[in-house]
Amino acid sequence: MKRSSLLMALFLLGGLLARADAAPWVAGLHRLTLVDPVDAKPMHALAFYPSSGEARPVRIEGYQTRVAEEAPVAMGQFPLLVISHGNTGSPMALHDLANGLARQGFVVVAVVHPGDNNRDHSRLGTLSNLYGRPLQISAAITAARNDRLLAPYLNDGKVGVIGYSAGGETALILSGARPDLERLRRYCEQRPGDADACKTHGVLIADHSELAPRADARVGAVMLMAPLSLMFGRHALAGVQVPALIYSGDNDQLLALEHNADALARKLPVTPDYRLLAGAGHFVFMAPCDDEQHLRMPVLCKDAEGVDRRHIHRSLRSETTAFFSQALGAPEPAERSAAAGQQQGQAHP
């Protein structure tokens, strides 16, 4: 083969591979307002979903993403995922994961937890935060299933929950775990310097003593990143009977690995897929930062030498897509859904 012909063949092959790897849709963005089950006040969520609209750059709370705002949902039937962010966090900190999953055919609803977000810290260290967060995720599931834009395109299967840091604790409660508050007290007696877990010295403020841990039977799988899970012993986790994908960095500067992700992976009754990232810290699971963010929040953006956050997030997106597709069922574009309906009709005349 002549050199020019070989180069042309390689160019065409590269184009085919690039198209094969490309996401089938763009990410749409839809804003939801729902009612906080704790105090009946409004709470907010962002829904990322597969769309054939035109995506444009948009900056939300300092995070740059590319979405088709309020565009039509792509035709098909898609699994629902819900994201719970970390203490004092923002759902936009996980926008690249939500965006990437939407482009692969998932509807991803990311809540803003009232009283525990980047603008409002009023519920930190309270029972209403520990037990209210799972109720808020359940409310978001219900809101999505009733939403005019989203509901017609959601499949009727189980729901996946993604939890980062304290969101991991939330996801575990939703899937059947029951926190042991005495474990937190003992932990904080031994490690009073843990400012993240022991802000109230291991005793949560009983602001809503009527609340209790409540699982949601609609949850069928969980994906956890650097999960806060020190309140869960083996007995407390006995009710968690769903598949789990767990990530943690072995250089987590906030959560003691041996009391959180490592212990959780050993004690879950259904053996999880546990992936420990060499050299990675707690904040590596937040979206890769642009230049403006590096200047504004360097602690959250800087990773250890040799840790490639962008590469980690490419793997996160592809591995999470595969995990939830297997656990919940793969997204079904309109063509596949129509073909399945025709086959079913032929089988049952």
Q: Are the CB atoms for 304 and 281 separated by under 8 Å?
A: yes
Rg of the chain's alpha carbons, rounded to an integer? 21
Residue 113 CA to residue 120 CA, distance in Å, equals 9
DSSP-assigned beta bridge partners for residue 69: 29
**pLDDT above 70: percentage of residues in the chain:** 89
Dmax over CA atoms of the chain, in Å, equals: 78
Tokens of 170: 């939330």
The set of residues, in sequence order, having a beta carbon less than 8 Å from that of 309 and lying 6+ positions away, is 284, 288, 289, 303
The model's pLDDT over 6-64, given as tens digits with 9 standing for 90+, comes to: 444 434 434 333 333 467 899 999 999 999 999 999 999 999 999 999 999 999 999 99
Look up residue 301 and give its two tokens: 């953006």
Please state which of the ranges 20-29, 95-104, 110-119, 281-290 shows the lowest mean pLDDT: 20-29
pTM of the shown model: 0.90
For residues 212-231, give the mean pLDDT: 98
| Residues 6 or more apart in contact with residue 310 via CB below 8 angstroms | 288
| CA–CA distance, 132 with 281 (Å, rounded to integer) | 28
Cα–Cα dist 178/232, whole Å: 7
* Lowest model confidence (mean pLDDT) among 82-96, 182-196, 255-269, 304-318: 182-196
The residue-averaged pLDDT of 1-6 equals 43
What are the CA-CA distances from residue 274 to residues 227, 248, 284 (Å)? Answer: 12, 8, 16
* Residues 6, 37: Cα–Cα separation, whole Å: 63
Out of 3.90.1150.10, 3.40.50.80, 3.40.50.1820, 3.40.50.2300, the CATH code matching 23-329 is 3.40.50.1820
The whole-angstrom distance between residue 249's C-alpha and the CA centroid of its chain comes to 17
Q: Which residues pair with 117 in a beta bridge?
A: 120
* pLDDT above 80 for 2: no
Q: Is the pLDDT of residue 257 over 70?
A: yes
